[in-house]
């Protein structure tokens, strides 16, 4: 394998083909179904699917199968199959994953930027969804093209691009079951939907947090009343809501108070967090657009890494029942609603945690207020299985070849429900979970961007791993898993991706 040629081929492919496709993709407001109830009628999801389908079919890959699979009442899924370049690997399969749905607009974009307005500024492509996760289908096929351009072998590859990941991937299990025979039994899963702590080396994800939450409402009146008349007599719905949330979270520290929402952090993950903190240093918080003078939640960098990867945390991501400031009168409002997003430790059961949240918030409501919690999410996180020696070496070699630095391993604070599902269905599979969402890229927020050089290098690393996977398959090293998937440990003490 000529790494320099691989890198040059993929750099050219990105510049001349992939980036222009992503520019067109960013223009499409294909929000995930949770954020666009009329997604079918609006047709934006189909536009994104059509763009990717046309591009994939135009790629010069012998035997490439591209199919849009549509199950009744569900978001579409793009299924791609690339045959092995030689018979030696038999039925061995690599599964590559990504998604094409997007988060909603969010406020706060710079005046010259916007969620559906692609802007190229230096090495960055601004706009919603380019890095999360529009580039995945392009990067996956390009990595395979780079191998074939050099005449290098690879195993059979299957690519799944789903359309409801940002809504919790609720359609994906049905598609995985529907396509089970066609997917086969992958020995390696590659996911390009994760993050990186810097743009200087390859980062692989060792764990993902789970998620639960939904719309929480406290109601005290059937209609608004004069605040001068009612205040001091009728309790404020906002105050009662604040009181109830204090059952969940310590308002002074942010620590989650329910013991059932915490899990023990494996010793190896603790060690990984220390190493990651040494490399990332203050970028663990400097990467965020903090207001002047704001201090992070801890002075200990390792604690900050653990807070965002292995500890539960509550965010209020939306509010209802409050008029905008310019139209707020002297009225005691009848109710207050908030959208709760509760991140969970990787090994916590999402459904059980959702029930704990519900019980804590709904029991014995103060003053007899009417309270309700409509759970929208309940997804369990993921803790990586042990890594096979061949994959550990391949990932590090790839990082050295295309970045000039060793690979790093760290948990991520977000959720990719697909990973837990794949871990259960294919307990013998190895995982390479990586991505381009690094400092200031601001996925889900304003001014989101794709760091193009990172995309090129990550794609090159995938090519290297696919090439090494083929060699390992010939040696019989890709079947089975050295340690059970829920062990929380991995070969060699580095962590897993």
Each residue of 107-155: pLDDT tens digit? Answer: 999 999 999 999 999 999 999 999 999 999 999 999 999 999 999 999 9
Phi, psi of 215 (to 5 degrees): -95, 120
pLDDT at 496 over 70: no
- Per the omega criterion (within 30 degrees of 0), is the bond before 55 cis? no
User: Residues 157, 184, 415, 52: is their CA dihedral positive or negative?
Assistant: positive
Closest CA to 467 of 13, 193, 185, 146: 146
Structure tokens at 156: 């059979």
Average pLDDT over every residue of 362-367: 98
Q: Are 470 and 188 in contact (CB under 8 A)?
A: no
Q: Which two tokens stand for residue 227?
A: 């605040």
Burial 389-399 (b: 16+ CB within 10 A, else e): ebbbebbbbbb
Across the chain, which distance is largest between two alpha carbons, in Å? 82
Residue among 39, 317, 67 nearest 163 (CA)? 39
Nearest one of 10, 34, 5 to 318, comparing CA atoms:
34
Residue 485 · residue 431 · CB < 8 Å: no
Q: Which of 104, 103, 121 is nearest to 113 (CA)?
A: 121
pLDDT digit string, tens, across residues 371-423? 999 998 888 899 998 899 999 999 999 999 999 999 999 999 988 777 888 88
pLDDT in tens, 247-284: 999 999 999 999 999 999 999 899 999 999 999 999 99
The fraction of the chain above a pLDDT of 90, given in percent, is: 88
Which H or E element spans position 359? Answer: helix 350-362
Residue of 155, 154, 165, 156 lying closest to 191 (CA atoms):
165
Q: What is the pLDDT of residue 300?
A: 97
The more confidently predicted of residues 233 and 377 is 233
Residue ranges of domains in the chain:
3-208+381-493, 210-268+309-379
Tokens coding 373: 């919690």
Does pLDDT of 485 surpass 50?
Answer: no
pLDDT above 50: residue 495: no
CA count, 13 A, side-chain hemisphere, 155: 28
CATH of the structural domain 210-268+309-379, one choice from 3.30.980.20, 3.90.650.10, 1.10.1740.10, 3.30.70.360: 3.30.70.360
pTM: 0.84
Give residues with Cβ within 8 angstroms of 177, minimum separation 6: none
How many beta carbons lie within 10 A of that of residue 251, not counting itself? 10
Average pLDDT over residues 166-170: 89
Assigned CATH for 3-208+381-493: 3.40.630.10
Going by C-beta distance under 8 Å and a sequence separation of 6 or more, which residues neighbour residue 325? none
Q: Quote the pLDDT of residue 89.
A: 66
Q: Which of 446, 462, 449, 380 is nearest to 107 (CA)?
A: 446
With CA atoms as reference, report the closest residue to 143 among 4, 13, 16: 13
The CA-CA-CA angle for residues 124, 107, 239, to 5°, reads 140
C-alpha–C-alpha distance, residues 478 and 171, integer Å:
29
257 close to 371: Cβ distance less than 8 angstroms: no
The arithmetic mean of pLDDT across residues 179-201, rounded, is 95
Each residue's pLDDT tens digit, 81-100: 999 997 676 789 999 999 99
pLDDT band at 228 (very low <50, low <70, confident <90, very high): very high
d(CA 333, CA 154): 63
Distance CA 450, CA 440 (A): 10
User: Could you tell me the two tokens for 48?
Assistant: 């994104």
Q: How far is CA 333 from CA 231, 324, 330, 376, in A?
A: 10, 13, 9, 25
């Amino acid at each position: 394998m000529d790494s320099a040629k691989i890198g040059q081929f993929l750099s050219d492919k990105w510049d001349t083909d992939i980036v222009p496709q992503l520019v067109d993709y960013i223009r499409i407001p294909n929000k995930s179904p949770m954020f666009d109830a009329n997604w079918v009628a609006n047709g934006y999801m189909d536009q994104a699917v059509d763009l990717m389908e046309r591009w994939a079919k135009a790629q010069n890959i012998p035997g490439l199968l591209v199919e849009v699979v549509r199950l009744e009442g569900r978001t579409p899924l793009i299924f791609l199959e690339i045959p092995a370049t030689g018979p030696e690997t038999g039925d061995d399969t690599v599964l590559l994953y990504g998604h094409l749905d997007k988060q909603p607009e969010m406020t706060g974009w710079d005046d010259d930027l916007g969620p559906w307005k692609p802007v190229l500024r230096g090495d960055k492509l601004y706009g919603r969804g380019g890095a999360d996760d529009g580039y995945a289908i392009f990067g996956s096929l390009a990595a395979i093209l780079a191998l074939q351009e050099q005449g290098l072998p690879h195993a059979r590859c299957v690519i799944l691009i789903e359309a409801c990941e940002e809504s919790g991937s609720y359609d994906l299990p049905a598609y995985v079951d529907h396509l089970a025979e066609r997917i086969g039994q992958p020995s390696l899963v590659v996911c390009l939907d994760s993050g990186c702590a810097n743009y200087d080396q390859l980062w692989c994800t060792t764990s993902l947090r789970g998620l639960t939450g939904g719309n929480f409402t406290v109601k005290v009146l059937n209609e608004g009343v004069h605040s001068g008349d009612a205040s001091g007599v009728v309790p404020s719905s906002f105050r009662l809501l604040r009181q109830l949330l204090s059952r969940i979270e310590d308002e002074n520290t942010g620590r989650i108070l329910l013991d059932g929402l915490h899990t023990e952090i494996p010793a190896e993950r603790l060690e990984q967090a220390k190493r990651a903190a040494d490399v990332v240093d203050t970028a663990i918080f400097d990467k965020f657009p903090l207001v002047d003078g704001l201090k992070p939640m801890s002075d200990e960098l390792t604690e900050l890494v653990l807070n965002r990867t292995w500890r539960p945390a509550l965010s209020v991501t939306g509010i209802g029942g409050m008029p905008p400031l310019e139209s707020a009168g002297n009225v005691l409002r009848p109710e207050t609603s908030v959208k709760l997003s509760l991140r969970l430790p990787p090994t916590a059961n999402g459904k059980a945690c959702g029930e704990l949240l519900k019980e804590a918030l709904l029991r014995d409501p103060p003053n007899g207020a009417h309270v309700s919690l409509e759970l929208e999410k309940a997804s369990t996180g993921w803790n990586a299985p042990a890594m096979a020696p061949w994959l550990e070496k391949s990932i590090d070699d790839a990082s050295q070849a295309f970045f000039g630095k060793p690979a790093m391993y760290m948990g991520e604070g977000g959720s990719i429900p697909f990973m837990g599902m794949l871990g259960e269905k294919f307990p013998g599979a190895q995982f390479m979970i990586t991505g381009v969402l690094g400092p200031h890229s601001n996925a889900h927020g304003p001014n989101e961007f794709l760091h193009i050089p990172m995309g090129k290098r990550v794609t090159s690393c995938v090519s290297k791993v696919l090439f090494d996977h083929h060699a390992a398959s010939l040696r019989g090293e890709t079947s089975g898993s050295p340690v059970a998937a829920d062990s929380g440990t991995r070969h060699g003490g580095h962590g897993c991706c």
